Amino acid sequence: MKLKWVVNDSRGETELERVNHITVEMNDETITRCKAEMTVPMSEKVYFNGYQSWSWSPEYTDQDAIYPARLPRVLVRRFALDRYADYHFVKYERKKGIFHGFSYCYFRDGDKFKLFASLDEDPGYTIFRYSCKTNKLEITRDCEGLKQNGSFHAFDLYYQEGSEDEVFDGWFKQLGIEPPHVKRLVGYSSWYNRYEAISEQTILEDLEGCKKVLIKGNLFQVDDGWEPTVGDWLEPDKTKFPNGMKSVCDKIHEQGYLAGIWLAPFVCTKKSEIYQKHQDWLLKVNGKNWLNGSNWGGFYSLDLDNPEVVKHIIKVFKRVFDEWGFDLVKLDFLYAAAPFPSKTRSRAGKMIDAMKLLREVCKDKLILGCGVPLMPAFGLVDYCRIGCDVSLDWNDKKIMQYAHRERVSTSHSIDNTLYRRQLNNRAWINDPDVFFLREDNIELTPAEKKYLYSVGALMDGILLTSDNPANYDEKKIKEFKEIVKLRESAKNVHLVHKKSGDVISYTIDGEEKSLKIRKDI
């Protein structure tokens, strides 16, 4: 295939190879355009990776389309629905057969893949855009406005045809990223039952209940709600956690579990001490604090180019690890670190810097990334969410189905578990989000709950419940153990593409089994 490219006034054409590095000499120039294109015939299915963890990223046919929020503009603005991903800097065509994605895409016919992928996002995100009508694959480096002097890496691309394992193993080998050296996790998260309504009492109740199903070495994770408000991480809410987080962490360790805690280190709300006392710590865009979304009534980006912000972040993690004793941090809403480039640093480059900062301050402690642009986190987090939050029903309320691609949805979460499976044990250990067995405070049907935990157990590496296991009867305890056995014992797990429909095939206890992929249960 011929790859045609243009960077400012420089142009060229080259035959696409396995590894492709296109550099242009710049003389203190501002980049005004950096694009390439080639002709690629449409396949049975195509995949274009969404911007961040939560971005819905299924496989597509020529009859599908990608949409931003489809609600009235007044609602989009009021709830900042266009701030959760790429909506403020990427054009959405809203037409059938036109797709775009970040860092990698593939074209698939049966079990044969054509993978197009970035080898370096530091100079700017590699954005792939495809038209089924014209068969044109356009590649744009997200670097417009950057000032460059010397050799500029316009494109660093990897291309391979072959089986799924061949193309993805080849890509990660070329990236120089080794498989993660951490174990898969089983455990508990407080979020999807109690949400922010947690306290020392509720956490200890759930900790006691986990004795029914968890064993030593499993994870017990305290999610959002322990802090006074988002942005203030140095002390817990003293009303809810009067004995502090070290006491909670010690209690978790007494049970033999790994202790995990949730933070969103790059954001704050208006109620936070940071917002009230350190306005100079907030990221300003056109003189205004940058709003990232409507959670908690609205939340704002910290400016990581401010040395005082970095000092504060270091202080937070020293407290969480060295003083409180936690083993794992779930770090959320990470996309807020880099919504914009600077004059000399690309948007992706700034995101990579932010992830390297987190890796440095967390040292050898475990990181579970969430709400993060994917490739900037490759090899820098131990575990990573690869889908949106599951919902307590199948696909959330009707009106919310017209919101952004990052919205809460069990159906979308399962899609991402399936179609980002290739990142598991390559970039990190995949986290598909939680599963449920409970029958109260849930609208998922028994069949939907079973499908959710079956796909997660077979395809990913983290298996967390968000029930209170104290309420499990013997039947539920047995079911929990069977789910763990499925995750631990299933061998030769593959997504097999058949004309009658895709299935997950696997072997367990010497018996070949399969799970049919379904959109509705």
pLDDT one-digit tens code per residue, 499-518: 888 999 999 999 999 999 98
Residue 459 DSSP SS3:
helix
The model's pLDDT over 37-53, given as tens digits with 9 standing for 90+, comes to 999 999 999 999 999 99
pLDDT-based confidence at residue 125 (cuts at 50, 70, 90): very high
Q: Which pLDDT score is estimated for 332?
A: 98
CA distances from 211 to 216, 277, 441, 478 (A): 10, 43, 22, 14
Of 154, 156, 136, 122, the C-alpha closest to 32 is 154
Looking at every residue in the chain, the average pLDDT score rounds to 96
Phi, psi dihedral angles at 428 (to 5 degrees) = 180, -170
The predicted structure's pLDDT at residue 500: 83
Mean pLDDT of 145-170: 96
Cα 281 to Cα 302: distance, rounded to the nearest angstrom: 6
- Asked if 225 and 239 touch (Cβ cutoff 8 Å), the reply is no
First CA to last CA across the chain, in angstroms? 42
Q: What is the 3-state secondary structure of 69-136?
A: CCCCHHHHHHCCCCCCCCCCCCCCCCCCCEEEEECEEEEEECCEEEEEEECCCCCCCEEEEEECCCCE
**Burial level of 414, CB count in 10 A (0-12/13-18/19+)?**
buried
> Other CB atoms closer than 10 Å to residue 502's CB: what's the count?
17
**For 453-468, what is each residue's pLDDT tens digit?**
999 999 988 999 999 9
If you write DSSP's letter for every residue of 229-278 in order, what string do you get? STT--SS--TTT-TTHHHHHHHHHHHTTPEEEEEE-TTEE-TTSHHHHH-
Predicted local confidence at residue 256, as pLDDT: 98
Task: Give the helix ranges, DSSP H, for 374-473.
Answer: 410-419, 446-459
CA 272 to chain centre: 26
- CA-based max dimension of the chain: 71
Residue 316 reports pLDDT greater than 80: yes
Q: What is the pLDDT of residue 518?
A: 86
Mean pLDDT score, 79-90: 96
The answer to whether the CB of 170 falls within 8 A of the CB of 160 is yes
Tokens 């933070």 belong to 263
Structure tokens at 344: 């000399």
299 bridge partner residues: 293
Q: Which domains does the chain have, with CATH numbers?
A: 2-175 (no CATH), 185-386+424-431 (3.20.20.70), 408-420+435-521 (no CATH)
Model confidence pLDDT, tens digit, residues 184-221: 999 999 999 999 999 999 999 999 999 999 999 999 99
Q: Please state the φ and ψ torsions of residue 20, each to the nearest 5 degrees.
A: -135, 120
Confidence class for position 489, pLDDT limits 50, 70, 90: very high
**How far is the CA of 36 from the CAs of 3, 7, 21, 73, 161, in angstroms?**
7, 9, 12, 33, 20
Q: Enter the tokens of residue 193.
A: 């039952």
Element at 395 (helix H, strand E)? none
Query: Is residue 115 pLDDT above 80, yes or no?
Result: yes
Q: What is the pLDDT of residue 183?
A: 94
Tokens of 437: 């067995």
Treating both helix axes as pointing N-terminal to C-terminal, what angle do 307-318 and 347-362 enclose, rounded to 10 degrees?
Answer: 30
Question: Residue 469's closest CA among 212, 187, 269?
Answer: 212
Q: What is the mean pLDDT of residues 311-321?
A: 98
**Residue located via tokens 């074209």:** 107
Q: Confidence class of residue 33 from pLDDT cuts 50, 70 and 90?
A: very high
- Measured between alpha carbons, how far is 198 from 115 in angstroms, rounded to an integer? 44
Is the pLDDT reported for residue 520 higher than 80?
no
Q: What is the pLDDT of residue 519?
A: 78
Instruction: Give 240-277 pLDDT, tens digit per residue.
Output: 999 999 999 999 999 999 999 999 999 999 999 999 99
- pTM (whole model) above 0.85: yes
| Dihedral angle computed from the Cα positions of residues 269, 270, 273 and 275, in that order, rounded to the nearest 10 degrees | 90
- Taken in order 382, 341, 139, 49, the sign of the CA dihedral is positive
Asked if 296 and 230 count as a contact pair (C-beta separation under 8 A), the reply is yes
